[in-house]
A = this chain, B = another copy of it.
Amino acid sequence: MINDLPNLTNPVCAVPHSHNDYIVMGHGSGGGMTHNLIQKVFAPHFTNSSLDANNDFGIVENTGKNRLAISTDAHIVSPLFFPGGDIGRLAVCGTVNDVSMSGAEVIGLTASFIIEEGFPIKDLERIAISMSIAAKEAGVKIVSGDTKVVERGKADGVFISTSGIGYIPEGTDIGGANAKPGDAVIISGTVGDHGMAVLTARGDLGLETQIRSDVAPLNGLIHSLLLEIPDVHVLRDPTRGGLATTLNEIATQSEVNITINEASIPLNPEVSSTCELLGFDPLYVANEGKLILILPDTMAEKALRILKNHQYGREAVKIGMVLPDPQKRVLLRTRIGSNRILDVMTGEMLPRIC
């Protein structure tokens, strides 16, 4: 239906048209353009306290019985299979993680498939098996599903949308708006692995690396943490837009500044060198098995011990602090000792990474 539109991927043809008129790849970046699109097109019509809280999960009241966290993600990663994972593992882990970041125990997942005509059924089965393995690892069940097929050339292999639901234990109050001055900022491990694994798996860069995606379900890790430290303020997984964009979201929601120390941020050396080679900043590259943890600084040492005890938190480290200044900025103390503002990602750096 949109064949008669200008070719926006061609910069010459794109000139007469504004980004305000047509969707461009940057609207799916998870960064500034996505935020603006949501604020302009969706927020005015869908406004409610749950959505307006700007977390990756919504909260619904279950008729006074308890609070439920609910989250959804569409997965469009390309290629479908990459070192360390595939779209199936991603679809399960992405949604398990988003629900878990509310402090909820996940109780069920749904999965809907949009499949392109001509897609090999053996690949679909490989994806189903991968989803099954990830769901078992996370201890969750896929309780409802849907399968749709579109004509060849109207999709790209397979897209998978997953939704998840969990119940939030009484007294738990975790969310992006809860960071307090004096809190410690912890990252559960190396950053940028997922984005770089998918990018190099595309093959069109002619790069061969050993980088594997970190895609993993983090609900077990979070469960262990909350069991011993109920007073967690923020949990969030730095997916699209990476660590820098996610910290900016938190700074905005909590109306604080956050300062992080570049030298302390854990990096897989191959991710670091590949980013340098390609001109990417790993702080903006997506992760799918990492979390940002913000909690009272007095609890930081204990939290690090718990994280390091878990297979998905071995390289956890404190990377910064929440500051009392209310400018909603993220400040990076660089390796050479200067300070700079880390802004949100505006457009699209790595399309179709999740």
Contact = CB atoms under 8 A, between A and B. Distances in A.
Interface of A: 1-2, 5-9, 20-28, 34, 37-38, 40-42, 45-46, 48, 50-51, 56-63, 65-66, 68, 70-76, 78-80, 105, 107-108, 110-122, 124-125, 128-129, 131-132, 135, 141-157, 159, 161, 163, 165, 167, 348, 351-352
Contacts of A132: 45-46
Contacts of A129: 45
B51 A147 contact: no
B148 A74 contact: yes
Given A9-B117, A108-B68, A117-B25, A41 B161 contact: no
Main secondary structure of the interface of A (DSSP, over half): mixed
Contacts of A8: 117-118, 152
A115 to B, nearest CB: 5
Q: Which of A26, A117, A119, A159 has the most CB of B within 10 A?
A: A117
Nearest to A156: B154
Contact of A51 (B24, B59, B142, B150): B142
Given A51-B143, A159-B159, A72 B112 contact: yes
Contact of A2 (B5, B68, B107, B116): B116
How many subunits of this chain does the assembly comprise? 2
A72 B146 CA distance: 6
10 contacts: A1-B78, A8-B118, A22-B117, A23-B118, A41-B125, A46-B135, A51-B143, A61-B107, A62-B107, A72-B111
B145 A42 contact: yes
B144 A70 contact: yes
Contact of A73 (B5, B9, B75, B112): B112
A165 B68 contact: yes
Given A23-B149, A41-B124, A144-B57, A46 B131 contact: yes
A185 B73 CA distance: 38
A42 to B, nearest CB: 5
A144 B71 contact: yes
A121 to B, nearest CB: 6
A220 B158 CA distance: 35
